[in-house]
Structure 1
Amino acid sequence: MKITTIEQNILIGSILGDGNLALYGRSKNAHYREHGAFYQLPYRMWKCNKLKNLKFKIRENEKYPSLVSPSHPIFTKLYNKFYINNRKSLTKENIKMLNHPIGLACLYMDDGSLVIDSSKKSNKIYLFPRIAIYTLNFTKEENMLLIEHIKNIFNIKFKLKESPYGTKYLLELNKRNEIMKFINIVKPYVENIKCMKYKIEVEERMNNKYNELLKENIEEKIVISPLHVKNKNYTKEEENLIISLKLKGVKDKEIAKIIGKTYYGVVDKIRRLRKEGKLPH
């Protein structure tokens, strides 16, 4: 068996999340296993379909059907990279294997949540989104490695947040422009899985929270914070250069090199330029 970039990233995102690799007894090679709540079965079936060339299958005879792989050297190599002294670990080397948005989407679907928060100020209640990824199995240093890697590869700036659980740290986004950039990167994968769509439905969740508060007949005015992504990361000159290069047929990776931005940051910028009507679809 050979592993593709897509398959690798689904596996790495899942290993950082709900998935586990195991090497038991006399077995020469490791295997992958993942289980979860029954309502998440469509998500595991989606993974199974994406990983069918690696002989993944769903064990349906279990109370909570699990996703499993056969034992194979591919998984042994991953086990040796990610399990140090029998503990799932992050290093400067193994984190490099997370290099495609589908891997980030799997990590988010496994261990992430979209929360609609509120705050009171001057007789108003402000509603705003927040995203957390519960990387509570990793140390502070490992979480910092992950934050830096996501920033460098995907141009998303998570921050470290303390927690009373696990190893006391998780990843969080609370700036609306960063949240929407993140949602736009993972959306093409998450929106295909019905049981996971609630994790990207920011506007719907905000409106639902608004309607819930209205029913409580509270006195304060309820304000939904705007969700648009502010164009702070690109100068007008850089924007014009992207448009010019794109119209000439220059590939996104080459544009990223020319203007000194990350590839996925440029992909997101081009998507927004098309939405604004500045580039043709």
Structure 2
Amino acid sequence: MPNLYNKKLAQISLSTSCKAIILGSILGDGCLKFYKPYKNARFWIRHSIVQKQYWEWKISQLDEIRTQKSERIQSPHDLSRKKKLFFQSAALEELTQIYKRTYKKNILQIKRTWLNHMTPLSLAIWWLDDGSIIKNGRNGVLCTDAFTKKELKILKRYFIIVWNVDVRIGQIHRMYKGEYRSVFRLYFNTTSLKKFFRIIMSSTPLPSMISKYCILYKDAELQQRWISEMILAFPMCEKEIMETIRQRKMQLKYFRK
């Protein structure tokens, strides 16, 4: 990890966990914004109602920036049939300082100068927001659709230099506002995914999110080895881990053959 003691972002007077959650969230389901007539930035996050436990944990860690009116429920809209859970912080100078180092003209800037301040908790938040296990249950992806290929190259280099985790940049085509567009995502093979999970699992806030870490194997011995690693990270959740893996295997045709 880089030595960040004398860096301005490290000296902002918010707790380490609060800054970690903010940095992880702005890569995922949160952002920093200015609202008139306030001169300082606010931090906000939004999650589906089905992620209520995760959202409640997040905002419980943000007491130093919340207000009595920070949380509310948003009604479903045209793009979603489920209610949304919304958090908006107070307008604070400390958040403005983070904004100035991570945004330019209201657009998030992917730069090593602030990525270096990410912690395992930041990475865990980013994964829980935008990460998924895909294909045969042993590969992973971070949905980085809003970022350019140039920005993903910065993220790829950051992963390998700071965390020794190799990721691949992949391109897909998806429908957006009635037309297809090309977007880029970060992909993990099995080796990289396991290495990444070993970094972040112990920082995962809730056992209810263990499904995000359930790598699947047909080989019983390899499966048991990974189950053992998950139990080390979530020692009170052995039954939940076993049941989640069983259910996920039932859902995937690859494991029902």
Q: TM-score, normalised by structure 1?
A: 0.65
**Corresponding residue of 2:71:** 59
Q: CA deviation at 1:29?
A: 0.3
| Superposed CA offset, 1:69-126 (max 9, x none) | 100011111222222232122123222221x100000000111111242xxxxxxxxx
Question: Alignment partner for residue 61 of structure 2, among 32, 46, 50?
Answer: 50
**1:186, CA displacement in angstroms?**
1.7
Corresponding residue to 1:104 among 123, 128, 140: 123
CA distance in 2, matches of 1:167, 1:181: 29
Residue 183 in structure 1 maps to residue 197 in structure 2: yes
Residue number in structure 2 paired with 1:228:
none
Amino acid at match of 1:29: N
Aligned match of 1:149:
158
Q: Which residue does 1:137 correspond to in 2?
A: 146
Are 1:173 and 2:188 matched, yes or no? yes
**AA aligned opposite 2:213:** I
How has the CA–CA distance of structure 1 residues 23 and 172 changed in structure 2, closer, same or farther, with 3 Å as cutoff? same
Secondary structure at the counterpart of residue 47 of structure 2: coil
2:255 and 2:16 map into 1 onto residues whose CA distance is 48
How far residue 150 of structure 1 moved from its aligned partner, in angstroms, is: 1.9
Instruction: Give the aligned residue type for 2:41.
Output: A
d(CA) in 1 for partners of 2:71, 2:131: 25
Query: 2-side partners of 1:95 and 1:167: how far apart?
Result: 25
Q: 28, 32, 50: which one pairs with 1:39?
A: 50
CA distance in 2, matches of 1:156, 1:214: 27
Q: Bigger shift: 164-173 or 140-149?
A: 164-173
Find the residue that maps to 1:197 and give its secondary structure.
Answer: helix
Corresponding letter in the other structure for 1:50:
Q
Deviations 1:223-270 (CA, angstroms, capped at 9, x unpaired): xxxxxxxxxxxxxxxxxxxxxxxxxxxxxxxxxxxxxxxxxxxxxxxx
Contact 1:89-1:138 within 8 A present in 2 as well: no
Q: Where in structure 1 are there 5+ consecutive unaligned residues?
A: 118-127, 219-281
Mapping of residues 252-267 of structure 1, within 5 Å:
none
Question: Who is 1:224 aligned against?
Answer: none
RMSD (Å) for aligned C-alpha atoms: 2.5
Q: Give the deviation of 1:37 after TM superposition.
A: 0.7
Give the alignment of 1:77-226 within 5 angstroms.
Answer: 77-98=97-118, 100-117=119-136, 128-165=137-174, 168-174=183-189, 176-190=190-204, 192-194=206-208, 196-203=209-216, 207-208=246-247, 210-211=249-250, 213=253, 218=257
Aligned length: 204
Q: CA offsets per residue over residues 186-210 of structure 1, 9 Å max, x none?
A: 212336241x221112246665455
CA drift at 1:170: 0.8
User: Secondary structure of 2:187's match?
Assistant: strand
Shift of 1:167: 6.0
| 1:215 positional shift | 9.1
| Higher-Rg member (1/2) | 1
Q: Is contact 1:114-1:199 (8 Å) kept? A: yes
Q: Please state how far the C-alpha of 1:52 moved relative to its aligned partner.
A: 1.7
Q: What percentage of residue pairs aligned between the two structures are identical? A: 22
